[in-house]
Amino acid sequence: MTPREYWERLRRSFNDEYVEEVEKRQGKEDNHDAEPVD
């Protein structure tokens, strides 16, 4: 594996984790907004 391939894989895995974290936060916010207000 070349250094370029290594960094591509590292960056891709980092991006995937970041996207998942962002989606979790957005999901929480969406659920919070969807809750009925008494």
Phi and psi based region of residue 31 (left: phi greater than 0; alpha: psi -120 to 50; beta: remaining):
alpha
What pLDDT does 21 receive?
A: 92
Q: Amino acid identity, residue 1?
A: M
Task: Give the separation between CA 6 and CA 14, rounded to whole angstroms.
Answer: 12
Q: In this predicted model, what pLDDT tens digit does every residue of 1-38 receive, in sequence order?
A: 899 999 999 999 999 999 999 989 888 766 555 566 66
Q: What is the pLDDT of residue 1?
A: 84
**pLDDT recorded at residue 4:** 97
Q: What is the pLDDT of residue 30?
A: 64
Q: What is the per-residue pLDDT for 26?
A: 86
